[in-house]
Amino acid sequence: MNIKLISCISLDYDLKLIPHFISHYSKLNISNFHFILHKKENFNVVDFLYYFSKLPPFKVTFQQWVGEFNAVDKIEKYNSIIESTDESHILLADVDEFQNHKHIITEDYVWGHLVDREPQDKLVKEVDSSDLSKQFPIKSLRSNWGDNIKICVFPSSEKLVTSHRTTTTYRGEDTIPVDHYRWTDTRYEKASERYAVYSKLNKNKSKLFSNGAHLATADSLNIINMLKKKTFI
pTM over 0.85: yes
Residue 213 confidence (pLDDT): 87
The span from the CA of 124 to the CA of 2, in Å, is 37
110-118/32-39 β-pairing: unpaired
CB contact at 8 A, 125 and 135: yes
Residue 147 confidence (pLDDT): 92
- Provide the β-strand partners of residue 8: 36
Residue 230 confidence (pLDDT): 56
Residue 58 confidence (pLDDT): 92
Q: What does 69-84 look like in DSSP terms, one character per residue?
A: --HHHHHHHHHHHHHH
- Provide the β-strand partners of residue 89: 3, 155
Digit-by-digit pLDDT tens for the chain (233 residues) are 999 999 999 999 999 999 999 999 999 999 999 999 999 999 999 999 999 999 999 999 999 999 999 999 999 999 999 999 999 999 999 999 999 998 999 999 999 999 999 999 999 999 999 999 999 999 999 999 989 999 999 999 999 998 899 999 999 999 999 999 999 999 999 999 999 999 999 998 889 888 888 999 999 999 999 998 554 44
Residue 227 confidence (pLDDT): 93
Per-residue HEC secondary structure of 37-69 comes to: EEECCCCCHHHHHHHHCCCCHHHEEEEEEECCC
Q: What are phi and psi of 82, to 5 degrees?
A: -60, -40
- Provide the β-strand partners of residue 114: 178
Identity (one letter) of the amino acid at 221? Answer: L
